Amino acid sequence: MSTRAHIWYVDEQGKIKTVYCHQDWYVEYTGKLLKDFYWNNKLVKDLVDGWAIYTLGKVKGEQIKYEISDEFSKKYFDWDYWKQTIYFDRDRGMSDEKEIFSFNSVNSYKKTWYMLNAIEYSYLFKDNKWLVLKSNFIDWEFIKHMEFEEL
């Protein structure tokens, strides 16, 4: 079972841009990677604009051919982290995963997030720091009042 998330930022027009992230998105892994390696607006925008992410790595990286093998893991996995981000479209050839979502407000994002009901973490880069919103899938009245916590 995958731990799903969204990564998002607010663009120059005030729109929320978010991308789906599929695997290993719990705070202990992703939070540390985001804080250590994606620490400015340019890096975050570049990461999100790459479309749907399979798993996060230390850098966005170049296109690779993803495969499940020991050789692949040895080449691209470094102790505790992937050396580079693996995207659905770019690296796995899954071209139906190209969507970057755009919202007008945090509440419109939260409402959609709640309705998707499968996103466990939402990571926001704002004012040069990372914030996280953890889902509990309770109900909309509870989620709309939830606040982001600093990583």
Of residues 10, 14, 53, 63, the one with CA closest to residue 30: 53
The answer to whether the CB of 22 falls within 8 A of the CB of 103 is: no
* pLDDT number for residue 143: 52
Apex 64 CA angle, 75 and 125, nearest 5: 95
Dig out the tokens for 109 from the structure: 């994002």
pLDDT means per 10 residues, the chain with 151 residues, are: 79 82 81 90 88 85 81 72 80 66 73 66 86 66 59 67
> Could you tell me how far CA 21 lies from the centroid of its own chain?
4
Q: Determine the Cα–Cα distance for residues 126 and 128; give it in Å rounded to an integer.
A: 5
Q: Which two tokens stand for residue 112?
A: 């959609």
Where does 49-149 have alpha helices with state H?
Answer: 70-76, 88-92, 106-116, 140-143
Which are the contacts of 149, defined by CB distance < 8 A and separation ≥ 6? Answer: 131, 132, 133, 134
Per residue in 115-129, pLDDT tens?
Answer: 655 677 888 888 888
Q: Which residue ranges make up each domain of the chain? A: 5-150
CA-CA-CA-CA torsion for 127, 56, 21, 52, nearest 10 degrees? Answer: 100
d(CA 113, CA 109): 6
What pLDDT does residue 151 have?
67
pLDDT averaged over every residue in the chain: 77
